[in-house]
Amino acid sequence: MSMSSSPGEDLLAIEEAANNFLSQEYDFRRRNIYLQGTGNVERSLWRRFADLGWLGLSLPEDYGGAGGSAVESWMLLQRLGAYLVLEPYLSSVVVCGWPLVTHGRKQVRDRLLPELIAGRIQLSLALNEPEGKHPNIITTLATPMDGGWRLVGHKSVVLGAPTADYLLLSARCDAQRIVLLIRPDDAGVMIRPYRLIDGRTAGEILFDGARVGPDSLLAVGPEADELLDVARLAGAFGCVAESVGVMKAALAATVEHVRARRQFGQALSGFQAIRHRIAAMHIACEEADALGWRAAQAYSLADPKERLAAIAAAKSDVGQSARRVCEEAVQFHGAIAITDEFPVGHYLKRAVVNERLFGNSELWTEHFSKAVFGWP
């Protein structure tokens, strides 16, 4: 198949539309108001995301989506990052929606995806556990009982959990992995909600003998493994896309600042040491954008190893470099960027969170080495 090196006009149109909407409805002042909310009042915005076609952008037309591929989401997610959008788009649409296109019980998918695309529900993947860093280790136990399951365990730092209508829960059942679809208000499910440092919601989920019925089964065994793999890759890719948007926004703010701000009789942009470091920030943005774009395109490749390699390469690079670019942005802005009133520090927060979610740079460098060189 033929691949392009940069987004074409159709994709740029998505970017422009997103900018138009977000600059109106999600400027930094409005965002601060949303941030004061409980995390659940913005369903009106969520429904507008649906109206804008964002929720179904890369989901199949059969379910009411636009049938796009990952490159369309690549454009949108960058904007959601750049505007520091708090809604659980990543956790709901990308991490849960994308795997449901191809994996899981068909009845469940056919029911959930149209609801998701229409903006009527939000989803969250309950995967991480407190014990280990490695997401493959699952200790939450699903014991078969009365045709359904009894759940005991603890899921930690679950992105989007507090507002989710459904949770995709990974658990161990006998020697296999299993993915169940449960509701936060199922008996025996307790969520401790909080915000992350970047303002997005997350929570601890405790299962103390919760009981769920037989219809909650989503996938089991190899099917569950694959679903979780797809979800993790989607999560990594989504973090990359958001963070590339974040770092570009941080760079743009910094360029504007150093041109305007004067010190010792000249604009900051006149100091060569600063100029060279801003050149380095720009290069980091270009490299990150190139890797993210390649990862987005890799979603259309038949070769799953190349897809893994492309996403791993991007997550490995962008995690760190987005944070470093944002640290530089803070440094060049000076003390103003240490205040919570000013957007630049929030770019750094978002970059920090995205660097760590779904595996950090070191982990994905290992994934890359394994996929490409066969190194253990």
Partner 1 sequence: MSDVPVADELGGFRAEVQRFLVSALPPELAARTKAGHTLSRDELMFWHRTLHGRGWVAPGWPTEHGGAGWSILQRHIYDEEAARAGAPSIIPMALTIVGPLLIAHGTDAQRTKYLPRILDGSEIWCQAWSEPEAGSDLASLRCHAERIGDEYVVNGTKIWTTFAQWADRCMLLARTATGDRQQFGITILLIDMKDPGVSIRPLPSLDGMHVLNQVYFDNVRVLVSDRVGPEDEGWGLLKSTVGHERILNADVGRARALLDRLIRTVQANPGAQPGLRSRVARAAIRLRSLEVLVMRALDSPDPANASGASIIKLLGTELQQEASWLMSEALGLYGLPYLPDVMQNGWQNEIPIGPDDAATVTPFYLFWRKASISAGTSEIMRNLIAQQVLGR
Site for a copy of itself in 234-293 (CB under 8 A): 271-273, 275-276
Q: Choose among 74, 107, 114: nearest CA to 318.
A: 74
Single out the residue of 47, 141, 150, 156 in contact with partner 1 (rule: CB under 8 A). Answer: 156
Task: Look up residue 96 and give its DSSP letter.
Answer: I
**Residue 375 C-beta: closest distance to a copy of itself, Å:** 16
**Residue 275 C-beta: closest distance to a copy of itself, Å:** 7
Neighbours of 208 (CB within 10 A): 11
Q: Distance (Å, rounded) from C-alpha 173 to C-alpha 140?
A: 9
Query: Does residue 223 touch partner 1 according to CB under 8 A?
Result: no
Query: Does residue 140 touch partner 1 according to CB under 8 A?
Result: no
Query: Does residue 98 touch partner 1 according to CB under 8 A?
Result: no
Environment class of residue 45 by beta-carbon count within 10 Å: exposed (0-12), middle (13-18) or buried (19+)?
middle
Paired with 123 in beta bridges are: 166
Residue 278 or 330: the one with the smaller Cβ distance to a copy of itself is 278
Sequence-distant (6+) residues with CB within 8 A of 374 are none
Interface map 116-135 toward partner 1 (x if CB under 8 A)? ------------x-x-xxx-
Q: Distance (Å, rounded) from C-alpha 27 to C-alpha 295?
A: 29
Q: 151 contacts which partner out of partner 1, a copy of itself, none, CB within 5 to 8 A by kind?
A: none
Sequence-distant (6+) residues with CB within 8 A of 279 are none
Query: Does residue 10 touch partner 1 according to CB under 8 A?
Result: no
Query: Does residue 229 touch partner 1 according to CB under 8 A?
Result: no
**Residue 227 C-beta: closest distance to partner 1, Å:** 21
Q: Phi/psi of residue 271, each to 5°?
A: -85, 120
**Residue 133 C-beta: closest distance to partner 1, Å:** 5
Residue 44 or 272: the one with the smaller Cβ distance to a copy of itself is 272
Residue 111 or 192: the one with the smaller Cβ distance to partner 1 is 192
Residue 146 or 373: the one with the smaller Cβ distance to partner 1 is 373
Q: Are 319 and 292 in contact (CB under 8 A)?
A: no
Q: What is the DSSP string of 276-330?
A: HHHHHHHHHHHHHHHHHHHHHHHTT-S-HHHHHHHHHHHHHHHHHHHHHHHHHHH
Residue 148 or 270: the one with the smaller Cβ distance to partner 1 is 270
Single out the residue of 218, 330, 343, 350 in contact with partner 1 (rule: CB under 8 A). Answer: 330
Q: Which stretch binds partner 1 (CB under 8 A): 10-18, 55-63, 140-148, 292-300?
A: 292-300
Q: Distance (Å, rounded) from C-alpha 283 to C-alpha 267?
A: 22
What b-and-e string marks burial along 269-287, b requiring 16 or more CB atoms within 10 Å of the CB? beeeebeebbeebeebbee
Q: Distance (Å, rounded) from C-alpha 62 to C-alpha 117?
A: 11
Q: 102 contacts which partner out of partner 1, a copy of itself, none, CB within 5 to 8 A by kind?
A: none
3-state secondary structure of 73: helix
Q: 293 contacts which partner out of partner 1, a copy of itself, none, CB within 5 to 8 A by kind?
A: partner 1
Single out the residue of 113, 180, 202, 308 in contact with partner 1 (rule: CB under 8 A). Answer: 202
Single out the residue of 118, 141, 152, 290 in contact with partner 1 (rule: CB under 8 A). Answer: 290
**Residue 169 C-beta: closest distance to partner 1, Å:** 17
The span from the first CA to the last CA of the chain, in angstroms, equals 31
Residue 113 or 310: the one with the smaller Cβ distance to partner 1 is 310
Residue 172 or 282: the one with the smaller Cβ distance to partner 1 is 282
Residue 224 or 268: the one with the smaller Cβ distance to a copy of itself is 268
Q: Distance (Å, rounded) from C-alpha 59 to C-alpha 299?
A: 13
Q: 183 contacts which partner out of a copy of itself, partner 1, none, CB within 5 to 8 A by kind?
A: none
**Residue 281 C-beta: closest distance to a copy of itself, Å:** 14
Positions that interact with a copy of itself (CB under 8 A): 271-273, 275-276
